[in-house]
Amino acid sequence: MKSKIIFYTLRNVIIYGCILILQSDLLFGEPMFQANIKNKDNPMTIQKVKNAMLAMQRRAWEQGVAAQALLEMGETDLVVLFAKDAVVNQRKDGRLGLNGDDRPVADPASNGEPVLYAAKMTGDVNLQKAADRMLEFLLYKAPKTPDGIIYHNYIENMLWVDAFYMVPPFLAVAGRPDEALKQIAGYRKYLWNADKNLYYHIWDQDRQKYERKLLWGVGNGWAAAGMTRVLMALPDSMPEGKTMLAGYIKQVIDGCLVYQRPDGLFHDIVDDPATFVETNLAQMLAYSIYRGIKGGWLAKDYLPFADKMRKAVYTKVDDFGLVQGVCGAPNFDRPGTATEGQAFFLLMEAAFNDLHKQE
């Protein structure tokens, strides 16, 4: 009798377990423990992407772009927390968010706007002083070319296209829009390919040659998104600057769209189909287009291109909220995941929602 009770008890446990497994498959559409990629255009996806971003280790520019994404999403408390941590890791010379490598010159400035915003929101004088020190570093201490354009890192004396996003936006919101436009003009002077309407990646000032003469997709995304932020920050007293930037933004977007794939994405090196298909450029351009249409400097004709990019990106978000197929950390030479990939998904969604909020 006792053995029969044990038998039936075990049988019921097994049956119940099988039912749970079947139910999980029905609920989630895939076997348990498998991270599959689906198109889930809903707030839960956005929350998962944000959670995944918050779980990632971050270097100076990653802290900055993540904080900027939270700022544009309206996540005030998180922006303040990110800003405070960037200040914890501020160097004596003013560079924000450095928690290891001491070479970066441009990247720390990506933390500037969130820190400045946090200072204004909280009234914390220490945050304001930290933002002021970051600005002073850029203006007076950062190594520069003979014509005053800020190098990306110490020692190497090189200009990177990434800097479009790191430096000028903070200069613009910190009260130096003139200097922001100067830096943009300088990066354009050294990195612009007028034939293809795209930017090369890295210029070596010492050797007077390109260190990386490639039309890197994410680099052009940094340029488009960075100039977009500057244009949004320029005062009405600078109409010529606004017109100039609007033209620059349109040019680089047009240059990228020539190479957009049928699926809405782009190759890592935009004009080289032998390189891997990459996700983040689509997010960066969609963000720039949505902001441009909202701001009135891009025609609504660009909207279908951005929507196509956004739709493609949603298919790259896995069950854990990781945006797959972006230029992957830590070396950004192969597809993977990265803080900036998470951040630009959120920035894209913030811009999309701002554009459509009154509809």
* Sequence ranges of the domains in the chain: 1-34, 35-356
101 pLDDT tier (thresholds 50, 70, 90):
confident
Measured between alpha carbons, how far is 148 from 169 in angstroms, rounded to an integer?
Answer: 17
Cβ neighbours for 148, distance < 8 A, ≥ 6 positions apart: 182, 186
Q: Is 220 left (phi over 0), alpha (psi -120 to 50) or beta?
A: alpha
Q: Cα angle vertex 164, ends 115, 286, to 5°?
A: 90
Residue 297: how many CB atoms within 10 A of its CB?
A: 18
pLDDT by residue (tens digit) across 192-223?
A: 999 999 999 999 999 999 999 999 999 999 99
CA separation for the pair 241, 257 (Å, rounded): 24
Domain made up of 35-356: CATH architecture? Alpha/alpha barrel (1.50)
Per-residue pLDDT at 62 = 96
Q: Summarize pLDDT for 18-35 with one digit per residue, the tens.
A: 433 333 333 333 322 223
CB 43 within 8 A of CB 317: no
Amino acid at 128: Q
Decide if pLDDT at 37 tops 80: no
- The structure's pTM equals 0.88
Residue 327 Cα to chain centre, angstroms: 11
Residue 305's closest CA among 267, 264, 337, 268?
264
At residue 250, the 3 state secondary structure works out as helix
Residue 8 has pLDDT above 90, yes or no: no
Identify the CA nearest to 176 among candidates 139, 228, 130, 227: 139
**What's the chain's average pLDDT?**
90
Within its chain, how far is the Cα of 256 from the centroid?
Answer: 17
Contact 145, 204 (CB under 8 A): no
> Judging by DSSP bridges, how do beta strands 266-267 and 277-278 pair with one another?
antiparallel
pLDDT at 359 (0 to 100): 60
The pLDDT tens digits for 300-332 are 999 999 999 999 999 999 999 999 999 999 999
Summarize the chain as % helix, strand, coil (round to 5): 60, 10, 35
CA quadruple 13, 17, 18, 21: dihedral, nearest 10: 180
